[in-house]
Amino acid sequence: MPNRAAFDELSALAPLLRVRPELERLCQFGAQWASPHDQSPAGWVPFHLVARGSCILDIAGRAPVSLHAGDVVLLPRGDPHLMRGATTPADGRSQPPVVIRPNGAIELASNADAPDTELICGRLSFEPRAESLALAVLPSFILLRADEGPSARRVAGLLHTIRDELVQAAPGARAIGAGLASALMIMVLRIHFARDEARSGILGLLAQRQTAGAVLAMIREPTRPWSLDDLARAANTSRATLVRGFRSLAGQAPLAFLADLRLDLARHRLATSDQGLTEIALDVGYQSQSALTRAFRRRFSLTPTAFRRDREAAQPAG
């Protein structure tokens, strides 16, 4: 029988395990190719499943990531990125033209008669109420390697089954592919949550009874003017116990955690919407645009306006 702490944690994460995948394109490329992806709209998480061969993923601020058959990548913040061939220059220019055609199950994108690389590209949609939970729990980049262990090998096997369904395009293939992709993504998230590096911070807080209630309350209502007394009541514990738990597991006090959550929500809105700063400030729990700007500059060393401008400039060239 699972212990109560583990049950609380899994229950808290349940909205993240109800995902709706959308399989957009099966890419079949030769040695030279490049595929830029803009910032994804709010609520959507792009993913790439490498079914054959190898390729490179470029994201601003991160070293190029080499991907191989069976690997899975999720970008929970929807960051702009470039997928390219293993020997394709990083500027991604002057590549053979890509022909796109539907096959009855998915769009096929190809630039070669005998492709070296195949990957399935798509995006996930979380339940609307899971947006703040996803921002709090998931990093900006999740990579599952096919050789990471038995669970990862099962994911890779499922990936290849999805690929075969989409290529053969038999009746019902699209629905089968989407259903299998949903199972695959839940498996990827489960593996991620079990990793050692994911056990600290918010997942550690959710695993402890004396802090889980406060974390869930903040995630559900980030705009509420929470006090330490309010959060202690939500967690059914004392203020001192709550503060000790947060400092031990997250390295910060409860109200500092709340401030970071609000700023993460604001940054996400700035990157994925055209909302004005005043509207964003009020939506994430600040009383004014100036209050958001001051807090944003303290944490990120630039203003919300500068952040939005830099994000727009970082969009990959199409």
Q: Are residues 215 and 188 in the same domain?
A: no
58 forms beta bridges with 82
Q: How far apart are CA 7 and CA 4, in angstroms?
A: 5
Helix axes 209-220, 4-13, angle to 10 degrees: 10
Work out the pLDDT band at 303, boundaries 50, 70, 90. very high
Count of other CB atoms within 10 angstroms of residue 221: 13
Q: Are residues 169 and 226 in the same domain?
A: no
- How many Cα atoms sit within 13 Å of 249 on the Cβ side? 24
Both tokens assigned to 70: 């069976």
Q: Are residues 132 and 259 in the same domain?
A: no
The SS3 of residue 82 is strand
pLDDT tops 70 at residue 94: no
Find the CATH number of the domain harbouring 139: 2.60.120.10
Q: Are residues 191 and 227 in the same domain?
A: no
Mean pLDDT computed over 6-33: 77
Q: Are residues 157 and 68 in the same domain?
A: yes
Output the pTM of the full model: 0.76
Range of the domain at 288: 201-313
Q: Are residues 29 and 164 in the same domain?
A: yes
In a domain, 279, yes or no: yes
Confidence at residue 1, expressed as pLDDT on a 0 to 100 scale: 38
- Are 116 and 31 contacting, i.e. CB atoms less than 8 angstroms apart? yes
- Are 74 and 142 contacting, i.e. CB atoms less than 8 angstroms apart? yes
Top-confidence residue, 134 or 159: 159
Q: Tell the burial category of 194 from Cβ atoms under 10 Å away from its Cβ (0-12, 13-18, 19+).
A: exposed
In a domain, 3, yes or no: no
pLDDT tops 90 at residue 130: no
Q: Are residues 102 and 183 in the same domain?
A: yes
In a domain, 8, yes or no: no
Q: Are residues 29 and 150 in the same domain?
A: yes
End-of-domain residue from the set 162, 197, 232: 197
* Per-residue pLDDT tens over the stretch 176-195: 999 999 999 989 988 888 77
* Per-residue pLDDT tens over the stretch 203-227: 788 878 889 899 989 988 889 999 9
Find the CATH number of the domain harbouring 305: 1.10.10.60
